[in-house]
Chain A
Amino acid sequence: MMDEAKLKQARASWEKLREKYLAKLKPQKNLSGIPIKTVYSPEDVAGIDLATLPGVYPFARGLYADGYALTPWMQQMVFGFGTIEETRKKMETLVAQGMEGYFGNKVFNVVYDIPTMYGIDADHPEAEDNVGQCGVHLCTSEDYDELIRGWELETTNFSLITGENCLPGLAHIVAAAERRGKNPDSLRGNSMNWYPRIAVQDIPSWEPKHGYALMAELIKYCTKNIPAWNTTNIFMYGISEAGATPVQELAYGLSWGKSVIDAGKKAGLEPDSFVGRLGFQIGIQMNFFEEIAKLRAHRKMWAQVTRDAGCTRPQCMHARVHIHTSGNVLVAQQPLNNTARITMQIMAAVLGGVQSIHSCSYDETIGIPTEVSHRTALRSQQIMMWESGLRQVADPLGGSYYVEWLTNEMEQEAWKLFRELEEHGGYMKGLEGGWVKGRIDASAYATKRAIKGGELPVVGVNKYVMNEKEEYEPFRVDYEIERKAVERLRAFKNKRSPSEVKTALAGLRTACLALREGKGELMPALIEAARKGATNGEMMAPMREAFGWEVTE
């Protein structure tokens, strides 16, 4: 098809044009360390299979045949602060601002505060100063009733950004649905179920073997009882934010995904019954085309991993991706500049063909986002969605010599690291011994040195530095919230039947000890505890006792 003689002639002319300055050209590479030329041409894609289309296995060009033509991506802004009262208001604001999921459905990507995430209630001494600060404090059945109040369950997506309390969180929302007379299968949403992030996030969590068992327990419960619930968030964003290069993010993320499939299979599930409900959360760093190539390679690689694992349904081979634009690349100096970074990241995500996006706010490096910065981040997505034409064509960069070559290159480099980790024993082994963490920490250190040395330019940090004081006033969550949360908790506890709570918690403790030995189910006992009014912290206490609790660095 290609006129080779003509191309040869063009190449000869091209080489002549650059003779004079060729020696001056500096070698360049992307963030993954892949050498990048200044020009790409048909020869670079000669060995790459380009005879494919969007929606068709292996999905490098996208999951859906017409891209965003039927519906745009989901706008899933992370939000949540204070008690449920403040967060309810924010939910309503976001709906009014047009935040939507597929086909206009509602999506709520609710982040919990860190005491809730790690299973301590507002009245715990270590919760002090953190209640409702970087997320919402949700610990009682009343909180969950209020979370879902008035929203139509079948069309509303509740993505619960829990920490290690994802099983108690799910139990609470199931019990809240029941109180509305609904079966669990009417619920739509997402559990994080992201125990393996312990490898990169320096957080307290379960002992590895128990962490994996709890993950499998949640998947088993949902597969049977809430088939439309997205059970697991394979948190590549966490890998990226901890310092991984984009190629490392791909390799370790896919290995993490494989470890979840393996855990499900070990628990007796057929791959086709649960793999389609696993999803990815991926970061977007600053090298534009590298990120697009990463997303294209990711879909292709996951299709292969799932097929190798025994999946036969196309939906089970779909790498469904939620993007969280990188918070780490945002800088505190001249914070408004971050809007340019965020805009570019959203564009990379859209051109990469993802299903859902959270765009960061420009002031996240200073504190909790303000109403204006959060709204601007949402509006930035909406401008891409409605003004830019970016979504008119599926995979518009498909066929680009550079992007196709780079997609292939990222894939090959990532397979190398993937295989290295698999040969080491797989992701779970890699997190137990610090193998994954060590490699990512080394990349983080290298990046920081490169910024310090100036090889990696960052505007406002090592280039165009202004030594003016930034008196930016971030959003403040009043510490009164803490008192209010404690009062709400006390009032709630006074309404419960102490004997019923005690019995339910005893049942939970028994179920925890049984699961520890690989027997029985935990979710029914958690749901029963939620029905009887056990708080998040009360449910997490016996879990910590049974499944170990450690902080790793």
Chain B
Amino acid sequence: MSEGKIRVLLAKKRIDVHGRGSKLIARELRDAGMEVIYYRFGTAEEIATVALQEDVDVVGVSIMTSGHLRLAEKLIPALKKNGMNEVLVVMGGVIPEADFERLEKTGVHKVFPPGLPGEQVAEYIKSRVGRATLN
């Protein structure tokens, strides 16, 4: 991790709807002193490209309208391909808890349920950033 603020890429699909949750998390992470780049993506590869360009410490993906499992399956290899083996990857939104384990097996470090106070997400990020590896 570079000196200074933790840099977070918060990604939401361009054609996704209802930005309330993701925008609140963006604001709460900023409140917690992080730099948040809010990005509307088209494909998983685009997230990986922007993550590299922006040299972020954390990639967060917000999901409203499903597709989380398949997205994670593409995102993790795409990040690794870009050499980002130490980036912390988190997901949140309307994701069934029954899928949390599967997502974590795919390589996502942590999945958060909807409506969670941003402080909890911030705390997790602070405790893990710079110490994560993508397997």
Which candidate, B47-55, B102-110, B112-120, B121-129, is the interface stretch facing chain A?
Answer: B112-120
B23: CB under 8 A from chain A?
A: yes
Residue of A117, A204, A479 touching B70 (CB-CB under 8 A)? A479
Interface centre among A118, A203, A331 (most CB of B within 10 A): A203
Q: What are the residues of chain A within 8 A of B96 when measuring CB–CB?
A: 366-367, 472-474
With CB as the reference atom, state the residue of chain A lying closest to B119: A452
Give bound CA distance, A441 to B21, whole Å: 11
Measured in the bound complex, the distance between the Cα atoms of B131 and A153 in whole Å is 62
Tell me which residues across on chain A come within 8 A of B115, comparing CB atoms. Answer: 331-332, 365, 451, 461
Interface residues of A in 458-478 (CB under 8 A from B): 461, 469-474, 477
B66 touches A243 (CB 8 A): no
- Complex Cα distance, B117 from A469, in Å, reads 18
Listed residue (B27, B65, B114) with the most chain A CB atoms within 10 angstroms of its CB? B65
Q: Are B67 and A129 in contact, with the CB atoms below 8 A?
A: yes
Expressed in whole angstroms, the Cα–Cα distance for A104 and B38 within the complex equals 48
If A128-B43, A448-B117 touch, does A470 touch B20 (CB 8 Å cutoff)?
A: no
- Residues A553 and B17 in contact, CB atoms below 8 Å apart: no
- B21-46 residues with Cβ-Cβ distance < 8 A to A are 23-24, 27-28, 38, 40, 42-43
B40 CB to closest chain A CB (Å) equals: 5
A118 surroundings in chain B (CB, below 8 A): 14-15
Q: Given the complex of chains A and B, what is the CA–CA distance between A259 and B34 in angstroms?
A: 39
B34 to chain A, nearest CB (A): 17
Q: In the bound complex, what is the Cα–Cα distance between A451 and B12 (angstroms)?
A: 24
Tell me how far the C-beta of B111 lies from the nearest C-beta in chain A, rounded to whole angstroms: 12
Tell whether, in the assembled complex, residue B65 and residue A202 are in contact, meaning their CB atoms are under 8 Å apart.
no
**Is A154 in the interface zone, CB < 8 Å from B?**
no
Contact partners of B27 in chain A: CB under 8 A:
445
Max chain B C-beta neighbours (<10 A), residue from A129, A451, A474:
A129
What bracket does the count of chain B residues touching chain A fall in?
20 to 34
A553 and B94 in contact (CB under 8 A), knowing A126-B14, A130-B13, A461-B115? Answer: no
In the complex, the chain A residue whose C-beta lies closest to that of B113 is A332
Q: Please give the distance in Å from A387's CB to the nearest CB on chain B.
A: 32
Set B16, B42, B67: member contacting A125, Cβ < 8 A:
B42
Residue B24 contacts which of A120, A204, A448, A471 (CB distance < 8 angstroms)? A448
Given contacts A126-B42, A128-B70, A204-B14, contact A473 B98 (CB under 8 A): yes
Docked pose: A477 CA to B115 CA in angstroms: 24
CA–CA, A367 and B65, complex, Å: 8
Chain B residues with Cβ under 8 A from A125's Cβ? 42-43
Q: Given A118-B15, A241-B18, does the pair A367, B66 have CB atoms closer than 8 Å?
A: yes
User: Which residue of the partner chain A has the closest CB to B22?
Assistant: A202
| B94 adjacent to A367 (CB under 8 Å) | yes
What are 10 contact pairs spanning A and B, CB under 8 A? Answer: A120-B15, A126-B14, A126-B15, A129-B66, A129-B71, A202-B23, A367-B66, A444-B24, A448-B28, A477-B66
Residues of A within 8 A of B (CB): 114-115, 117-118, 120, 125-126, 128-130, 133-134, 163, 201-204, 241-243, 328, 331-333, 364-368, 441, 444-445, 448, 451-452, 461, 469-474, 477, 479, 551, 553
4 closest pairs, A vs B, by CB?
A202-B19, A129-B67, A133-B66, A134-B65
